[in-house]
Structure 1
Amino acid sequence: MPATPAWPPRSAPRLFVPGPLAHGSVIGVEGNQAHYLAKVMRVAEGDAVVLCDDLTGEWAARVAGVGKRNVSLELAEKLREREQVPDLWLCPALLKKDRFDLVLEKATELGVRAIRPVVTRRCVADKLNLERARAIVTEAAEQCARTALPELVEPVKLDALLAGWPADRALFFADEFGGEPAAQAFAQSSRPAGLLIGPEGGFDGGERAAIRAHPAAVPISLGPRILRGETAAVAASALWMATAGDWSK
């Protein structure tokens, strides 16, 4: 006798929607999400869609109806509670748009809890379209099956970031001039963590001195090569997840 197929199937579309979600409720999606379900994924009545609301967790829903501009979904089963992601803040200096898009996407996939962009003297950009950035992290969270969106805030200047840094949170500073090997520093720390990554041209001398003087700062090395800003952000986040995050659980 053939096995009963898993429900919802792993191929079911995933969407973040406003919450809170509850068993038996019917919600409607419109705009780009409705177009994605109806025209790209070609869902039909009875098909499964997985929904998250960044509040209650992950839910399986059935398509209740497909209209020209909207899709109705009925909540059928709660699949998972909202996950507790590791307490890692990524604080990357702003980069050129396509490179910073990559940082947003990969940081979300890697599981960081918060993305807190920084403006430094050598940044080529000083502004971030927050609505567009949130769309990027939401799409990445849907793709990688996160149930919790990373917190994303407006960029702040480096001096403001340092002034407001919590005393109980380690500030791992990726310094191209050297520091403790990153894996070793991450493994030895039991505090909540933040990763500070510089821009294309690196931090200038005054910025480096100010960071190193901060009581929470831990200068780290990411190896013998000078990495691009986006490479450093992704590499450091992955290394932290492997040594102090949830990759080994």
Structure 2
Amino acid sequence: MAAYVITRHHISISRACKIICLPKSMYYYTRIKDDSATILKLQELAVKHPTEGQDLYYSRIRREGLKWNYKRVRRVYLMLGMNKRRKAKRRVPQRVKQPLCQPENYTETWSLDFMSDVLVNKRKFRTLNVIDDFNKEAIAIEAAHSMPAQLVTRLLERIMREKGKPKRIRTDNGPEFISREFRDWCSAKGIEVQYIQPGRPMQNGYIERFNRTFRENILDAYLFEDITQVQILAEEWMQDYNYNRPHDALNGKTPAEYKALPAACRH
């Protein structure tokens, strides 16, 4: 109020204070808040417990015997911008390098990987590609706009009913594959998961080579209006890939022909 009177009527501070009956000392009073200890404590908690929020921080502070009230902690918490969502970096466990060897038998090792593309309306979609490392057979290509871990395990359940259960699955460190749901599902089924080392796609070379062929023949060759078109073309292409397309790595045989060969004639 005093500041308004001074600015509006161009009078001195003393006269303005007399007019509004305000002690001059109060006009000059500035409240000093020392929040340094609160700031340090909240920053410390944010480093130790990055996924927790204000209420848990406050509970920890009170348990340590600090008597700061909730409003003080809240004010400093907001001042530091800690209410904004923080994306914690997910740590990938250290992976052991696994040699990329062709398995000796069918359903011994499956390789999984995702691919991405867009429809003509610019909406993104993904495909989950599954091959058998033994004969490079395309076991499944599933297209969807979203492919969470639950959908991945459901697809694998369906494939296993038709093709049998693999001993192991080789994959990268994508969020769907390192999720607890996927790992627990594999553990329950007795399937070993072989993760490649981060940044080393060549360790999953069979599916990477397959992906390149699929992109050249389907994803880059057609414009898709919806997911159904993607799925139909992918399934038609898989039939040709498995039964008509010879592979140099299979001595000029198709995946279906190589699978039918006696073990003595495969090499």
TM-score band by shorter chain is: under 0.3
Between 1 and 2, higher relative CO (CA 8 Å, sep ≥ 6) is seen in: 1
TM-score normalised over the length of structure 1: 0.28
More strand by share: 1
TM-score calculated relative to the size of structure 2 = 0.26
